[in-house]
Structure 1
Amino acid sequence: MNELGTPVLDNHLHLDPEHGRGIEAVKDFARSGGTHLFVVNKPSWLLGVEAESGDDFRTVFDTTVDVVARANEILPGKAWPVLGVHPGLISKLVDDRGYAPADARDLMQAGLEVASEYVADGSALALKSGRPHYDVTDEVWDASNAVLRRALELGAETDCAVQLHTEGTDDLTDVAEWAEDADLAPERVVKHYAGGKLAGVTPSVMSEKERLTVAVERGEPFLMETDFVDDPDRPGAVMGPKTVPRRVSWMQEQGYDDGVQTAHVSTPERVYGVDTLETLSR
């Protein structure tokens, strides 16, 4: 067991072994008391991939699978890949590359279908999708929601959780209804970059003390994350890899032991089916 006496999971961060800190960030996380990671592939265009077919995303996914294997040599717990297509890609396709929204939708859905193959064969744990968090045209919004709904269907088909990048909101009951329509339990849908309260699906709370206090006092299932972007051009962007372990220590000091148990043991099991205690082996 680590010095914090509990599993410590960062539910959403990125690792870029070629351009960023990569494994050095994992070492920072582990030295600070971190044990488990859900590593989300970086947006395809940030890895230099201009996809034209679903299979073109394999390079992006393989990069994440490979860095997770290296992380597992370091962590006292375990890391898992979370693979998918960033919802911001639709704007890159429509605005920069001249795609029609329907064609962009089809390409992004094809990328998600490839990602689901990794989940099906055990190479990845969950899928990542969503919709833009900024203003878009009605056509792009509708296409984005079609992509999101396909991710929910694939989550149901492969029996896995789906992480979502969406607009800032504390109400995703519309997405919860879509999940139910797809036969995916809404609790297995996770809003990344969430505040402390959220209706409809499970929040992955950005690890700020104010948001965590709201989440703990609310008493509902939640996860914790940094959204570490591992981008050398944006060294201070979002949160660093030491943040979740440090916030867990702070939560323990505040007497929020139940909240720590919720975020790092019971919710990961409920949403992803992983046992962070059993996988904490050294």
Structure 2
Amino acid sequence: MEPILDDHMHLDPDHGQGVEAVKDFSRAGGTHLLVVNKPSWHLGDLPDAGADFESVFETTLGAVAEATDVLDGCAWPILGVHPGLISQLTDAGHTPEEAGEIMRAGLDRAGEYVASGAALGLKSGRPHYEVSEAVWKASNAVLKHALSLGADHECAVQLHTEGSEDLTEIAEWAEERGLPAHRVVKHYANGRLKGPTPSVICQRDELRRAAESNAPFMMETDFIDDPDRPGAVLGPKTVPRRVTWLREEGYEGAIRTAHVETPEEVYGIDTVSTLDE
């Protein structure tokens, strides 16, 4: 057996498939997961303070524990604040600055989980849709705060951002704050990316580009575990199936890059020794 990691999956044990999705992933050959908390507004009321994020974080930790029981490898949690929350908060009457303050408080709370060893890394970003200049400025302040926390806690930071193949500016912000650029991960990335490490969405064309680039990358489904959108974004079996496809296409080295070498470089995790633990 070889490690097969999905770098970005959501699990919703209360409303979605939860551990059943993990069983599908495992039966298809998947061994390791990074489970990212769902956006906080999907699982409760809008937050007003850092403590209001705890319920979604605890739900994620519970889902990770269940997933690890099922997997031949294990799962790790990535905790943080979805950048789209700023629009939810401003629509509810907060100023962009107030919304940013609430989001930074949520990230601070996520950082405490990382510091205690309960979480592996942080999640942040900025809107991938058009927003006002004030919201964009506040969002970038939140993102920079997440990068600072990543440096403080010596952990990786996954980012949800606009689609781009050049995010060197964000990589530079990370380096300025003491976080190595390779420990910044662009979730839902294309097969080529300047700056952060790409977590490539498992579309064949993009995976081929990543495999042929000879650069570090990981693979993800961004499975959202929403009963109203079954299989979105990609189903939980997709990463193992794409690994099989990569092998058939002759990209054996890229498989090791995505599932062993890059996860170790970015997160400090050993997907080989954690098999069958």
Q: Which TM-score applies when normalising by structure 2?
A: 0.99
- Does residue 147 of the first structure (1) align with residue 147 of the second (2)? no
CA contact (8 A) 1:49 1:57 kept: no
**Partner amino acid for 2:54?**
R
CA distance in 2, matches of 1:237, 1:69: 23
The match for 1:108 is 103
Task: List structure 1 segments (4+ residues) > 2 angstroms apart after TM superposition.
Answer: none
The match for 1:260 is 255
The match for 1:222 is 217
- Does residue 205 of the first structure (1) align with residue 200 of the second (2)? yes
1:229-249, Cα deviation, whole Å (9 max, x unpaired) = 000001142100000000001
**Partner amino acid for 1:260?**
I
CA distance in 2, matches of 1:77, 1:140: 40
SS in 2 for 1:127: strand
- Correspondent of 2:276 among 263, 266, 281: 281
Q: Give how far 1:49 is off.
A: 3.0
- Does residue 20 of the first structure (1) align with residue 16 of the second (2)? yes
- Correspondent of 2:77 among 76, 81, 84: 81
CA contact (8 A) 2:19 2:66 kept: yes
The match for 2:90 is 94
The match for 1:271 is 266
Q: For structure 2, which runs of at least 5 residues remain unmatched after alignment? A: none
SS in 2 for 1:73: helix
Query: Percent of aligned pairs with the same residue?
Result: 63
- Correspondent of 1:119 among 114, 117, 120: 114
The match for 2:171 is 176
- Does residue 71 of the first structure (1) align with residue 67 of the second (2)? yes
Q: How many residues align?
A: 277
- Correspondent of 2:242 among 240, 247, 251: 247
CA contact (8 A) 1:165 1:193 kept: yes
CA contact (8 A) 2:46 2:89 kept: no
SS in 2 for 1:39: strand
1:163-192, Cα deviation, whole Å (9 max, x unpaired) = 000000000000011001110000000000
- Correspondent of 2:127 among 118, 123, 132: 132
CA contact (8 A) 2:156 2:184 kept: yes
Q: Which TM-score applies when normalising by structure 1?
A: 0.97
CA contact (8 A) 1:196 1:211 kept: yes
RMSD: 0.7
CA distance in 2, matches of 1:226, 1:279: 22
The match for 1:188 is 183
